[in-house]
Structure 1
Amino acid sequence: MLSDIEIAQRAKLKPIIEVARDLGLAEEDLELYGKYKAKVDNGLWERLRDRPPGKLIFTTAITPTPAGEGKTCTAIGLTQALGRLGKKVTVCLREPSMGPTFGVKGGAAGGGYSQVLPMEDINLHFTGDIHAVTAAHNVLAAVVDNHIFQGNSLNIDPKRVLWRRVVDVNDRQLRNVVCGLGNRVDGIPRESGFDITVASEIMALLCLAEGLQDFKERVGNVLVAYTRDGRPVFARDLKVAGALAVIMKDALKPNLVQTVEGQPAFVHGGPFANIAHGNNSILATRLALRLADYVVTEGGFGSDLGAEKFFDIVCGYGGFQPDAVVLVATVRALKMHGGLPLADVTRPDVEALGAGLANLDAHIDNVTGNFNLPVVVAVNRFPTDAEVELNLIREHCLARGIPVAVSEVVARGGEGGLELAEKVLAILARAPRGFRPLYDWNLPIREKIDILARRVYGADGVVFTDQAQADIETFTRLGFDKLPICMAKTQSSLSDNPRLLGRPKGWLLTVREVRASVGSGFLVALAGKIMTMPGLPQVPAAEKVDIDPAGNVVGLF
């Protein structure tokens, strides 16, 4: 089989104007970025808002492992399969960060014959949205430090500046820095650090804002520091909300591209689900729901992260009502959850697979029990999967009354997802079960975190460090306690310990710190040892990426 980038470069793309026409859009609704990319004017929403929405299909996965799951390619392949069945469908995805693109993961635009195109552009600079987030975030950081240097009329405490800087690469060297060194004119020395751009609250605002004016109001509410007497300082106090909105005005427009088979794809926003809310923009999803009869979207990592945050945060702000969930699993990953080492996942092992099914059950229970949504399990097939292993997953799911389909969308595109598409359509045709979020936002902060820990992660309870308790008391006093919770925790386990695979029992979630993303409208609870700036592996993916004399990108996944 050809590599992902070879498949992408050999695909015949339709001009983006034709793709837009399939959605009922005219050229004047677009801002073209060459032949195959476009931004959609947000003014279109006023024409579409009264249309009834299409069906919303959310794609999530079991707990990820190095063996791979294939959630994004499954979402794209399902979209292609629905297109083959004659359905008016589009997919909504997040923009890849260059951090993992040049770090561990490589490209993040799908795989094989289930990709969004142009793949190289999407994985690199695309339309500049992530660069705009970086610029807006760092302008605010510069203004905070400049205010302190220029007399500090707001009485900001330099030791309580919350707003760090960001860059869209994995760079552990920047996690903790001392800035302002040098001569007197070089600033006020203080400790700070960098986060990866996709963890920025500006990225969250891009994804959760309802438009430019809403973004401007929300960005003014970003909490940047405290004064020496403990009062909060917001971006609006520094009078830069308008400037940040100007930087972000084009980035707020959803990006339209296409799948390998020509279906429309909105790719907009890129937060990580382990350290941020992990879903694409409300602006893109609400447009898609008015333009298509079926919308497939996805959230980062497993159902305990991206899916939970979509259901408990995004749906609350976007007013979305999901109709069905596709839960992606692989034989290989389930065997790792059953105790098999990564080196052995290609050999048949029914015993390890059977033990690993506990992780699949946890995610099924999460979707059906906590959120009352119907689910179809999609087994993303690898060439090394034995038929006896696939049958074991089928029998296990059917014994629970859960529809299951073997998906071959990577190797066969939409054709390989027809069984999955038909089973998704079947559950959508049944009477709706009635989506419900997990908790009431008005509950106390500790209670919301405890509900998440027990019901979604399977913990026996929560341990709050002294820092976390102090943070909770501060945010309750300031009136931020009615915000939903965005948990920052490892993606590699249902627990806060990446080494605990399967369905861990008898453990406590440790919350070490809570941060207030007031502009975005949520509180970030940091669990375990999760970091907001990843590092590079021993052999970064960047070592494989190159460009040939003809200008073709090679080695990008």
Structure 2
Amino acid sequence: MGDVKTDIEIARAARKLPIQAIGEKLGIPAAQIMPYGHDKAKVSAEFIRSLSGRPDGKLILVTAINPTPAGEGKTTTTVGLGDGLNRIGRKTLICLREPSLGPCFGVKGGAAGGGYAQVVPMEDINLHFTGDFHAITSAHNLLASLIDNHLYWGNEQGIDSRRVSWRRVMDMNDRALREVVCSLGGATNGYPRETGFDITVASEVMAILCLAVDLEDLERRLGDIIIGYRRDRSPVFARDIKADGAMAVLLKDAMQPNLVQTLENNPAFVHGGPFANIAHGCNSVVATKTALKLADYVVTEAGFGADLGAEKFFDIKCRKAGLKPAAAVIVATIRALKMNGGVSKEDLGHENVDAVTRGCSNLGRHIANVRRFGVPVVVAINHFISDTEAEIAAVREYVSRLGADAIVCRHWAEGSAGVEELARRVAEVADSGQSAFKPLYPDNMPLMEKIETVASKIYHAAEVTADKAARDQLATWEEQGYGNLPVCIAKTQYSFSTDPNLRGAPEGHVVHVREVRLSAGAGFIVAITGEIMTMPGLPRSPSSERIFLNEQGYIEGLF
């Protein structure tokens, strides 16, 4: 196994085409592409506007079982499937999220695919890329500084400094900043108050950028942000302190989708990146809608398992953007199924058909959940060298009993050649017109009932509990006209429950909502459950310890 190349070595050896040539494949004139170097570019808002009359291609969602330390390879499969569809002659565009620096230097590593199914330039995509996340961080923190400045200069809006809800952000895991006191040091530094930091990908500005359809919509949504409350509990909006215009200016370029390529020189949009366990976990609406105008098939992913990513993709993104997915692919690995069946990470290399069969309960739950939205499902078994024929047969048989196909994919090792069978089946399902997509709940259902609906139908919880303060807050928002918004449940990605250690397909657990937040600009209510943090911490041995520049000046350790 010594000659197996790392992801970064494979990416570095890629024969990339100039980004204008990738744009040409999609019919984007060179003048409408704004290059960032030779291998990445933004697509102009002017060109995007010109596409409005075109018909839409078919949207295919790639989702997964609950993630485990064994790895699932959802982004890798998204890229592989996109390459595979292009290989069989279907004009296909891939839409991914941009990776966050926090997980990159923390525990998860990069998020540009892997093996021979990657988007490149891998280092750039995983690090500063085209600066979108920095722009979002700046716009968010501009608003934070304007709030404290407003308080300092006489507080014309009558903001209650104890009820300022807008925190600060940075795109790094830093637990020390979760709760802070600002404006210490005397009168010239303002009025001391408690606040804190979230990670940039949890920012409402990130969610707004990913749900806005154009710059005008972006500015309106930014103005709708609730920054805090007056003493009479009436909301104060970002537009009340005249922050929306300047924030939109900072985000002008960040709104435009980023065009890159796969190792096989197929086009991909990598744009936006809200966290999937905290926010709604999908790439931008602008990128997806533009892709649908430019290609016959668009392959996109939603974060983590289908209980989080797919549910939010369907109930928030598709509902808000009027998207109708034609098919969904659920990615599973034999290794992850074994972990769901009770095997420890150290023993995953040994054949254990019984554990695979037990772990299939997790996969079965996800299949049923996606079908609940009216979307047909294909299962992709992302192949690892340790998988045995008997283990693969057990998964195929289990999925077949549920009336779906499970197809082994070798895109990690073989690129598009290893994923042809999946590509043909997915195209067949997408073309069949089987999809009868509908969100899980109607807009006019009460907010608490929406939370209970997701918890009971998707998580299979027996009960939802919430403190009186949270229930009262939801009732107040309904009175203020926010009752029609969808809910975005912040929950651990590792389990259907709020206990990360409860693997498989648990039933009858309790979901406790400990806090609710109104994202009025993004247009959803966040319900925070369990121990979930909007500012993650670093592990004992973070990935950053193994990332460095070698003697040739190349980056090592990104994966």
Matched, 1:351 2:354: yes
Matched, 1:380 2:382: yes
Tell me which of 295, 299, 303 is aligned to 1:300: 303
**Where does 1:276-355 land on structure 2 (aligned, <5 Å)?**
276-355=279-358
The structural deviation recorded for 1:217 is 0.5
- On the 8 A contact 1:471/1:513 being kept in 2, the answer is no
**Where does 1:161-200 land on structure 2 (aligned, <5 Å)?**
161-200=164-203
The structural deviation recorded for 1:203 is 0.3
- On the 8 A contact 2:463/2:508 being kept in 1, the answer is no
- Distance between the aligned counterparts of 2:308 and 2:469, measured in 1? 23
Query: Per the alignment, in what secondary structure is the counterpart of residue 524 of structure 1?
Result: strand
Partner of 2:34 in structure 1?
31
- Distance between the aligned counterparts of 1:297 and 1:441, measured in 2? 25
Tell me which of 155, 160, 166 is aligned to 2:158: 155
List per-residue Cα deviations over 1:93-128 (Å, max 9, x = no partner): 000000000000111100010000000000000000
- On the 8 A contact 1:65/1:492 being kept in 2, the answer is yes
- Distance between the aligned counterparts of 1:284 and 1:549, measured in 2? 38
Matched, 1:480 2:446: no
The structural deviation recorded for 1:245 is 0.3
- Distance between the aligned counterparts of 1:144 and 1:414, measured in 2? 51
Query: Per the alignment, in what secondary structure is the counterpart of residue 508 of structure 1?
Result: strand
Matched, 1:114 2:113: no
Partner of 2:509 in structure 1?
507
- Distance between the aligned counterparts of 2:312 and 2:100, measured in 1? 19
Partner of 1:256 in structure 2?
259
**Where does 1:532-547 land on structure 2 (aligned, <5 Å)?**
532-547=534-549
- On the 8 A contact 2:459/2:497 being kept in 1, the answer is yes
Partner of 1:453 in structure 2?
455
Partner of 2:491 in structure 1?
489
List per-residue Cα deviations over 1:325-358 (Å, max 9, x = no partner): 0000011111111111122122111111111111
Aligned residue type for 1:56: L
Aligned residue type for 1:103: G
- On the 8 A contact 1:61/1:302 being kept in 2, the answer is yes
Root mean square deviation of aligned Cα: 0.9
Partner of 1:366 in structure 2?
369
The structural deviation recorded for 1:548 is 2.3
The structural deviation recorded for 1:386 is 1.2
Query: Per the alignment, in what secondary structure is the counterpart of residue 537 of structure 1?
Result: coil
Matched, 1:424 2:426: yes
- Distance between the aligned counterparts of 1:429 and 1:106, measured in 2? 35
List per-residue Cα deviations over 1:24-48 (Å, max 9, x = no partner): 1110111111110000012223221
List per-residue Cα deviations over 1:366-417 (Å, max 9, x = no partner): 011x201111000011111111100100111112210111011111111111
- Distance between the aligned counterparts of 2:78 and 2:18, measured in 1? 22
- Distance between the aligned counterparts of 2:350 and 2:434, measured in 1? 41
Query: Per the alignment, in what secondary structure is the counterpart of residue 462 of structure 2?
Result: coil
The structural deviation recorded for 1:438 is 0.5
- On the 8 A contact 2:338/2:356 being kept in 1, the answer is yes
Query: Per the alignment, in what secondary structure is the counterpart of residue 525 of structure 1?
Result: strand
- Distance between the aligned counterparts of 1:507 and 1:192, measured in 2? 33
- Distance between the aligned counterparts of 2:9 and 2:472, measured in 1? 53
Query: Per the alignment, in what secondary structure is the counterpart of residue 509 of structure 2?
Result: coil
Gaps of 5+ in 1: none
- Distance between the aligned counterparts of 2:301 and 2:33, measured in 1? 24
Gaps of 5+ in 2: none
Tell me which of 506, 517, 520 is aligned to 2:522: 520
- Distance between the aligned counterparts of 2:531 and 2:540, measured in 1? 20
Query: Per the alignment, in what secondary structure is the counterpart of residue 48 of structure 1?
Result: coil
Query: Per the alignment, in what secondary structure is the counterpart of residue 270 of structure 1?
Result: coil
Partner of 1:136 in structure 2?
139
Partner of 1:101 in structure 2?
104
* Aligned residue pairs, count: 556
- On the 8 A contact 1:331/1:389 being kept in 2, the answer is yes
**Where does 1:6-155 land on structure 2 (aligned, <5 Å)?**
6-155=9-158
- Distance between the aligned counterparts of 1:56 and 1:221, measured in 2? 30
- Distance between the aligned counterparts of 2:50 and 2:344, measured in 1? 54
Aligned residue type for 1:88: K
- On the 8 A contact 2:60/2:430 being kept in 1, the answer is no
Aligned residue type for 2:169: V
- Distance between the aligned counterparts of 2:486 and 2:455, measured in 1? 14
Tell me which of 410, 418, 421 is aligned to 2:412: 410
Query: Per the alignment, in what secondary structure is the counterpart of residue 121 of structure 1?
Result: helix
Aligned residue type for 1:358: S
- Distance between the aligned counterparts of 2:309 and 2:299, measured in 1? 14
- On the 8 A contact 2:116/2:412 being kept in 1, the answer is yes
The structural deviation recorded for 1:231 is 0.8
List per-residue Cα deviations over 1:432-455 (Å, max 9, x = no partner): 331111111111001111110110
Partner of 1:205 in structure 2?
208
| Matched-pair identity in % | 54
List per-residue Cα deviations over 1:28-84 (Å, max 9, x = no partner): 111111110000012223221111101110000001111100000000000111111
- On the 8 A contact 1:359/1:503 being kept in 2, the answer is yes
Partner of 1:216 in structure 2?
219
Comparing 476-485 with 188-197, which one deviates more in the overlay? 476-485
Aligned residue type for 2:204: E
- Distance between the aligned counterparts of 2:173 and 2:451, measured in 1? 29
- On the 8 A contact 1:80/1:263 being kept in 2, the answer is yes
- On the 8 A contact 1:117/1:259 being kept in 2, the answer is yes
The structural deviation recorded for 1:428 is 2.0
Query: Per the alignment, in what secondary structure is the counterpart of residue 454 of structure 2?
Result: helix
**Stretches of 4+ aligned residues off by more than 3 angstroms:** none
Partner of 2:442 in structure 1?
440
The structural deviation recorded for 1:551 is 2.4
- On the 8 A contact 1:220/1:234 being kept in 2, the answer is yes
The structural deviation recorded for 1:476 is 1.6
List per-residue Cα deviations over 1:251-280 (Å, max 9, x = no partner): 000000000101000000011110000000
- Distance between the aligned counterparts of 1:160 and 1:337, measured in 2? 43
Aligned residue type for 1:466: K
List per-residue Cα deviations over 1:152-190 (Å, max 9, x = no partner): 111111111100000000001111111111121112111
Query: Per the alignment, in what secondary structure is the counterpart of residue 50 of structure 2?
Result: helix
The structural deviation recorded for 1:419 is 1.2
